[in-house]
Structures are given as C-alpha cells and as structure tokens.
Amino acid sequence: MHEKSLGTIAVIGQGYVGLPLAVEAAEAGWVVFGVDKSSTIIENLNDGHSHIEDVSNSRLRALLKAERYIATNRYQEIAKASICVICVPTPLDDKGTPDTSILESAVKSVAPYLTPGTLLINESTSYPGTLRDLIKGIVEQNRNLGSEGIKFASAPERIDPQNRDWKLSTTPRLVSGLDIESRRAAEEFYSTFCRNLVPVSSPEVAELAKLLENTFRQVNIALVNQLVPLCHQLRIDIREVIEAAGTKPYGFMKFYPGAGVGGHCIPVDPMYLLWKSRQLGIDLPFIEKADEVNGKMPEYVVERFLDSTQNRESKQVLLLGVAYKPGVADVRESPALNVADQLKSRGFVVLYLDPLVKSVPGLEPYRGEDLRGAIVITAQPGLELESLVSAGIPILDCSGVFTDLANVERL
C-alpha cells in the first residue's frame, strides 16, 4: 500500500463495480470515499464486512485501518474529491426497456458538490450519448455553475466477478472524454491501478463498445441455444459438437448452451443498444431474435424436464445452483428464477439447493423432500449430486458439467 496519497476521490455506488474500484484505487494510493445510499451497506463496510466476493474482508479492513477508505452516505464528502466516479446499476424496467433512474438520481445527488476542476467519470453501462446528453445535462441543471469547470469522461466497467484470470487491474480499460483534457485526466487516474488503457475518440465509442461486447455474447449464445432442440432430436451431444468445432484454430469461438442468459450484462446490455436503435428508426433483427431465443430457454428446459420425468408423480422440483454464474451468490437476472416461474405456472413447488446462496425470494431450501426430479442451472463450487443420484432422482443438467453420472441427462 502506498504511503503517500495521490489525492481524494469519491466512488458513487458500492456494489459489484463500485466497491472493487474503490478498493483498487485506495490500494494504489488514493483516499476514497465510497458513497452509497444504503445505510446497511455503509455500516457493514465501515465494520470491515464486504458484501462483494471480489473484495475480501482482510483487504477492506487494511484500508479502513490505514484511513484510505471511508464508506459514507453523505454526498457532501464529494466536495473534497478531485475525481468522482459513478458506478450504479442501469437495469431494465418491467417492459424490458432501459431504466436510467438510478443513474439520473446519482448524478443529481452528486452535481451540487462538484467543485471546479473535478473529473466526473461514468462507469455505468448505458446507451451511446449517455455522458454527453444525459449526465452533462443533469449536472448543468443541478449545479450552481452548470457544467462549467467540470471534466466529463467515460470508462465503462468490465467487471467479471470471480474471474481469476482477468481482474479489474488487468482487464484493458476503455477511456474517453468530452474533450482531450477530460480524456487525459481519466487516463492519468486509471493508469495508477490499470495496466492497459485503451483511449478511444469519443464517449459514444466507449459506450457502444461496451454494449457490443455483451451483445456479441448474447447473439452467439442464442445461436447455440437455438441448436439445442435440433441436437436433442438428432441424439447428438451439442457440447461435443462445440468442442469439435472449437478445434479449428481460427474463425470460431466457443459458446455453450444453458437455461438462459443471466447476470448484469448479457440480458441487459443488448436491450440498451436495441432501445437506442429504435429511437433512430433502425431495426436490429439479430439482437431481437437473440433476445427471443434466449428468453424462451427456461420454457424449453421445463418442457424437456417434464417430458423426461413424466412417469413420476411428485409435484416438487429441485433447482440446483441458482446464482447467475458459478462462484457467486448473486441471483439477480439468474435464469433459475425464470425456470422457477415456468414450473410454478404449471403447479409445481420449487425448491433450491445452492452452497453459496442463502435465500431466494419465493423459493424454499431443499430439506430432503420427495422430488419429481432436479434441474442443474449453475454448476456452483461444492454442489454435490451424488446423494440425489444414489436415490434415483432424475436430473437435467443445463450446465453440462456433470458427466458420467447415472440418471443425469445433459441439456
């Protein structure tokens, strides 16, 4: 840890993006105010308890002891910072369209405390034009001096929780600004803890690149998901097909099927791109179809499961691994929730078993009940199937991880 301070920054939002950023910056030598509206999160963080898997309690406590990191819900502290980074969620609303209300609220809260010369950076994923048209406009409306004297930059987050190969410091960082001075200030900041910076010509390029990254994944996952019913009818293992195709040393990238797409990026980012295109009167049929294909996978999974277990009478079904990806306890946007809804709509009682997830709204933990069968959604570390297999419980494995086990059928 650096003995000399590089200055003071504020990170707005202490979730899966904001807290790791705050910790990396603090370890690099910045004094960091981690700002969040949740009093519970603030209290836990100041007590040294991290709610994010990528930040250990020991790292957090070392920074608290060194007075490099302070969690607070006082936006007034932003006035002490030369840099303010916005890291808040940008989800979809009930209609599947962009919901920027949290981002807008954060900028409104921040704006009155931005002092001349402050660099305001947006890491929150959103449509191209968000920094220039939305964020700058809100600052102009909610700050006495308008946007005068404020530098505006965009550096979209590329966090992949629990990825041991690519971390915040090693993943290339896209950086841009509304002017050269803003971009250079952002580069100077991120260079203190990021190894590889990628400057781009405008914030719109950075914003659209982030959307393209995950739209690419959405479309290619949809391609393999669309092949699942075909391969099942042909009695061909689609994963063996993917592995075979993956031996080609160029022009192919492996994507795998599953119960749907989950997490904070793949189901969401393409919809921001689709929304923006519709505002301009431009159709993006590939993206629309990909969303449709992946959105129908939970229904297909349930139909496939019920077909393979039709000789069993129990109305209780067990979901194994309900987080959106292995190694995390986060169930937001998890396809497991959609599979559960499909089962419930057919009159089934849905139970769950997950070594990392303590509770799931609307689901009860498995306690040995009689089962019609089980569905593996996510192959969590520590997830054991042996007792179910030995009891003769049929299992549909959507993860493709559990091979060579009796009564286990891979999607």
113-144 pLDDT tens trace: 999 999 999 999 999 999 999 999 999 999 99
pTM given for the model: 0.94
Regarding whether 285 and 371 lie in a shared domain, the answer is yes
Element (H, E) at 206: helix 203-234
Number of domains within the chain = 2
Per-residue pLDDT, 13: 98
Regarding whether 250 and 131 lie in a shared domain, the answer is no
> Does 221 fall in a domain?
no
Per-residue pLDDT, 1: 58
Regarding whether 158 and 58 lie in a shared domain, the answer is yes
Regarding whether 265 and 161 lie in a shared domain, the answer is no
Element (H, E) at 324: none
Regarding whether 359 and 242 lie in a shared domain, the answer is yes
> Does 220 fall in a domain?
no
Residue 251 reports pLDDT greater than 90 = yes
Provide the pLDDT confidence category of residue 3 given band limits of 50, 70 and 90. Answer: low
Per-residue pLDDT, 84: 98
Per-residue pLDDT, 263: 86
231 is catalytic: no
Average pLDDT of the chain to the nearest whole number: 95
> Does 208 fall in a domain?
no
CATH code for the domain in which residue 333 is found: 3.40.50.720
> Does 229 fall in a domain?
no
| Torsion region of 404: left, alpha or beta (phi above 0 gives left; psi -120 to 50 gives alpha) | left
Active-site residue, selected from the candidate residues 84, 87, 231, 265: 265
State how far the alpha carbon of 235 is from the alpha carbons of 33, 230, 239, in Å.
57, 8, 12
Residue 331 reports pLDDT greater than 70 = yes
> Does 290 fall in a domain?
yes
Per-residue pLDDT, 2: 60
**Domain finish residue from 176, 200, 224:** 200
Rounded Cα gap, residues 387 and 393, in angstroms: 9
> Does 168 fall in a domain?
yes
Regarding whether 37 and 151 lie in a shared domain, the answer is yes
Regarding whether 195 and 87 lie in a shared domain, the answer is yes
Regarding whether 256 and 166 lie in a shared domain, the answer is no
Rg of the chain taking only CA atoms, in angstroms: 23
Which residue(s) pair with 85 in the sheet?
Answer: 11, 121
Q: Pick from 208, 223, 176: which is nearest to 275 by CA?
A: 208
Regarding whether 400 and 331 lie in a shared domain, the answer is yes
Residue 370 reports pLDDT greater than 70 = yes
Provide the pLDDT confidence category of residue 5 given band limits of 50, 70 and 90. Answer: confident
> Does 89 fall in a domain?
yes
* Strand 69-72 to 30-35 pairing: parallel
Per-residue pLDDT, 264: 83
> For residue 27, what are the domain limits?
7-200
Percent pLDDT > 90 in the chain is 93
At 73-87, the pLDDT tens digits run 999 999 999 999 999
At 338-353, the pLDDT tens digits run 999 999 999 999 999 9
Q: Which residues of 255-283 are buried (b: 16+ CB within 10 A; e: fewer)?
A: bbbbbbbbbbbbbbbbbbbbebeeeeeee
Provide the pLDDT confidence category of residue 300 given band limits of 50, 70 and 90. Answer: very high
> Does 313 fall in a domain?
yes
Provide the pLDDT confidence category of residue 250 given band limits of 50, 70 and 90. Answer: very high
Query: Helices (DSSP H) in 309-402: which residue ranges?
Result: 335-345, 386-390
Determine the average pLDDT of the residues in 204-217: 97
Residue 202 reports pLDDT greater than 90 = yes
Regarding whether 266 and 176 lie in a shared domain, the answer is no
Determine the average pLDDT of the residues in 171-188: 98
**Domain finish residue from 200, 224, 246:** 200
* 63 neighbors 22 (Cβ within 8 angstroms): no
Rounded Cα gap, residues 274 and 284, in angstroms: 7
Regarding whether 250 and 171 lie in a shared domain, the answer is no
**Domain finish residue from 143, 174, 200:** 200
Per-residue pLDDT, 404: 80
Regarding whether 371 and 311 lie in a shared domain, the answer is yes
